[in-house]
Amino acid sequence: MHQFQKLAKTLSLRAALCLLVLSTLPCTSSSQARIVNATIDTSKTGAPISKNTYGQFLEHGGDIVNTGVWSEMLVDRKFFYPVAVSAPTPSPVIGNAGGNPRFNRVPTRWWAPIGESVVTMDTKSSYTGVQSLVVKLDGKVPRGLAQSGIAVRKGKAYTGRIVLTSFPGAMVKVSLIWGKESTDRQTINLRTTGTGYRKFPLRYTAATDSDNATLEITGTGTGSFHVGAVSLMPADNIEGFRPEVIAALKQLSFGVLRFPGGNFVSAYEWRYGVGDIDKRPPIFDPVWHAVQPNDVGTDEFLTLCRLLGADPYITVNAGFGDAWSARELVEYTNGAATTPMGKRRDQNGHPEPYHVKFWGVGNEPWGDYQMGAMSLPQFELKHNLFAKEMKAVDPSIKLIAGGAMPDVMEGADQSRRINGQYVPDYLSPADWTGQMLLNCLDNIDMVSEHYYASGTQHTDMKLQKKVPIDPPLSLIEWERAPAVQVRAKYEHYQEYLKRIPALRAKPVPIAIDEWAYFGGGPNSYKTVPAYAWAFHEMFRHSDIFQMGAFTFATAMMSSNRTEAILNPTGMLFKMYRDHFGTIPVEVTGDSPQPKPTFPAGGDQPAINPGSDTYPLDVSAAFSENRKTLAIAVLNPSDSEQSIMIAINGAKLTSAGKLWRMAPDSIDATVQVDKKPEVQVEEQTLGAFPGIITVRPFSVNIYSYPVQ
């Protein structure tokens, strides 16, 4: 690895010199056979690239939302678990985990009692959920509870509230403690009237940094005090959301944001997630086996979309859920304040309709692991029922059907379950997307497709199963893997067009509303060229691929409990969104991509993705007004590569710009607590060079005004 990094660094310096002087002669590389020739024909354009291609996905999987984007600092703030000295007992493992202990999730922090045998749980008259907390008092001896492990920063203010009631003789103190000395705290004294639960505001300012601060709630006097809920957030939160996360994600301008699932949605009751945030009951999520406080529900999600400038995409529960509940959710978001659900929204502080356009009917309904899973013929009826009820409320909404082409039905081993075929035949009972398009086309505006690429396994058509890739893929083929999945879906779609005449009359675009490549490590650059390649393949077929939702939006950042910055993946998304065009133009070349490594079938396409510029991949697009041409040159190899690009049909000005990501190591990272090893470099260029030499494993976007 050291020798590889040293070589990469040397080659990178040479490539940089070439670009700086804009030489018409290529930098040579011993591993480079020849200069690739490419032609960009600006007279041949494709369908506009949707901003939604850069979309993101958030799911209530564990604390992805609750701590990833939400500002709440306390765990189990509504007391789902009894307060005890030791960690809470894991909730029963139920649902789709099959008893896997890794799903037996308990909080990493929890409430601990102060005083012996003083804390009990009130299950008869709880404030919310099944129980609230009761502390029995003993005169002048403080009794109560505390939660440690809270991160605070010097000089920063923290606000919150506590919902409590007590006997008239009780005095309650709520303290934020950041050190061991008696002065390392701030305390708020509270006295209630004993006439029912009340909310009391909290505000503190930390005097030092600490990653192990404690919120302590104690009482003295007679009788007892009851706590229904307690909350603590940084005072600079933005409508409940982490300001550093908002600042990072807002840079991406990613078009659309999908929520709340994902698998989570198939057991989600949306009504638990609206109204008074402290009265919303905490629930045990049977999908991810984690407690959800229901703090981030429909209104909070739509607030987040407003803060980020993204269009909301809501997936409704078509697992355990029913069409009437979906109808009411559409009415809650889009109905006038005079409608029953619109009135409820108004009462919750949101009088104006949200006008949510994109709606998914269920998540991965083809999987037998989903809550409420059913046969395909039954789900077709269910989809149509949902469509009827939802569009009765708002005919303008766009419905996204839960699909699974042969690549997914094979990869998730669902086809074999249905009809014994490892890879289903087109339009067979196990071809979920094909059957949905046949029988529900009138009620489908887009079809949802998912993929999670692998660079270590592939489909063995003879063995009818996934097997390890041995020997390992070359770097180029490893980087190609996500684009391979996009290409496979394109080829499947072409087969549907041949077999379903009605689809030719009413084309249904694809929304790849879950996708990722797991293999580069958190905050690593390694998957960046792979994601760029996937983008290029979507751009080449922009009439079909019109939406994406990356798993997850939080994967765009490196973050800890108090900081968040864009990581290499986020930087790539931002670079393309800011500097690539929207009207794709044709790219041809004299160096075709090699044939696929593995035989075609299932998730293996017959033709490899990529432009005819091997080992490079090139994509080009005009800006919306056609006044700027952007040319993206991806080098997925571990050596410098040169390409000669001719541009037909347009004359470029003599001054342009280059944005590129080209770290010295493919394993370079960006982390909040370390010096960044990856950056987006920006250069001002002269005339577009006849020959371009690009660094190893680099992503480059050249942008020139058109004369």
pLDDT over 90 (residue 99)? no
Give me the pLDDT at residue 169, please.
81
Average confidence (pLDDT) over 670-682: 96
DSSP 560-593: -SS-EEE-HHHHHHHHHHHHS-SEEEEEEESBPP
With cut-offs at 50, 70 and 90, classify the pLDDT of residue 30: very low
Lowest mean pLDDT among 27-41, 259-273, 370-384, 468-482: 27-41
Reply yes or no on whether the pLDDT at 243 is more than 60. yes
The pLDDT score that the predictor gives to residue 20 is: 33
CA distance 703 to 623: 10
Nearest-angstrom CA–CA distance, 161 and 232: 7
Confidence at 91, pLDDT banded by 50, 70, 90: low
Q: What is the pLDDT of residue 462?
A: 87
Identify the pLDDT of residue 187.
97
User: pLDDT tens across 385-417, in order?
Assistant: 999 999 999 999 999 999 999 999 999 999 999
The mean pLDDT value for 40-50 works out to 97
Task: Please tell me the distance from the alpha carbon of residue 404 to that of residue 199, in angstroms, as a whole number.
Answer: 48
pLDDT tens per residue across span 630-653:
999 999 999 999 999 999 999 999
The encoded tokens of residue 184 equal: 């390392």
Which residue segments constitute the domains of the chain, with CATH numbers given?
Answer: 2-46+586-705 (2.60.40.1180), 52-70+238-576 (3.20.20.80), 107-234 (2.60.120.260)
SS3 at position 47? coil
Range in 17-21, 159-163, 217-221, 425-429 the model is least confident about: 17-21
When pLDDT is cut at 50, 70 and 90, the band that residue 23 belongs to is: very low
Q: Which helix (H) or strand (E) holds 200?
A: strand 198-205
State which H helix or E strand residue 245 sits in: helix 243-250
| Confidence (pLDDT) at 22 | 33
- For the chain, give me the number of helices (H) and strands (E)? 13, 33
Is the confidence at residue 18, as pLDDT, over 50? no
Interhelix angle 432-440/475-499, nearest 10 degrees: 30
105 — pLDDT class (breaks 50, 70, 90) = low
pLDDT digits 0-9 by tens, 221-234: 989 999 999 999 99
Q: Cα 595 vs. chain centroid, distance in angstroms?
A: 32
> Could you read off the pLDDT of 551-562 as tens digits, one per residue?
999 999 999 999
33 pLDDT band (50/70/90 cuts)? low
pTM to 2 decimal places: 0.91
pLDDT of residue 354: 98
**Closest-CA residue to 636 (of 602, 658, 608, 657):** 608
Determine the pLDDT at residue 24. 32
Average pLDDT, the chain: 92
| pLDDT tens-digit map of 307-354 | 999 999 999 999 999 999 999 999 999 999 999 999 999 999 999 999
Instruction: Grade residue 45 by pLDDT with cuts at 50, 70 and 90.
Output: very high
Write the DSSP string, 438-504. HHHGGG-SEEEEEEEE-SSEEEETTTTEEEE-SSPPPHHHHHHHHHHHHHHHHHHHHHHHHH-HHHH
Task: State the pLDDT at residue 62.
Answer: 86
Q: In what order do the strands lie in the sheet with 132-136?
A: 119-122, 132-136, 224-234, 157-166, 198-205
> Taking the chain, what is the end-to-end CA distance rounded to the nearest angstrom?
46
Percent of the chain with pLDDT over 90: 85
Can you tell me the mean pLDDT for 431-444? 98
In this predicted structure, what is the pLDDT of residue 13?
35
Q: How confident is the model at residue 1 (pLDDT cuts 50, 70, 90)?
A: very low
pLDDT(96) > 50: no
Higher per-residue pLDDT: 449 or 98: 449
